[in-house]
Amino acid sequence: MDAKPFIATLILNIQSKSASGPSLSSVRAEIEDMLAEDYDVQKNEKGEYRLAIPAEYTRTEHDLTAEIADLFAEIDVIAEEYDCTAIATLREVEGQGRVW
C-alpha cells in the first residue's frame, strides 16, 4: 500500500515590523513561491493554503515534525528578509486534526 501525502491547511498572517516596511504582498508572493516549489499547494478564497506534504517526508511522526519545523523556519527566514514577522498555523485536514 502506497503512503499518502499529509494534507493540511496553512493559515499565514504577515505583519511588517515598521510603518515604512515593504509591501506585504511581496513577502506573501515569495512565501507562495517557496510553497509551490516544495509542496502541492492550492490557495482558497479565504487566503488559506491547502498543502500536500509528500509521503516521503511524513513516514514517521519524527519526519513529519521535522518537515513542519523546516516549513515554519523557511517562512520565518523569508519574512525576516523583508523586516516582517509571519505567524503560521498548520491544521491537519484528515486524521487526528492536529494543529502546529
Distant-in-sequence contacts of 70-76, Cβ < 8 A, 24+ apart? 71/38, 72/100, 74/34, 74/38, 75/12, 75/31, 75/34
The CATH number for 72's domain is: 3.30.70.930
Provide the pLDDT for residue 2: 63
Name the residue range of residue 60's domain.
Answer: 6-92
Average pLDDT, the chain: 91
The pLDDT tens digits of the residues spanning 39-48 come to 999 999 998 9
- Is 10 inside a domain boundary? yes
* Residue pair 65/76 in contact by the 8 Å Cβ criterion: no
State the pTM of this model.
Answer: 0.88
What is the residue type of 13? N
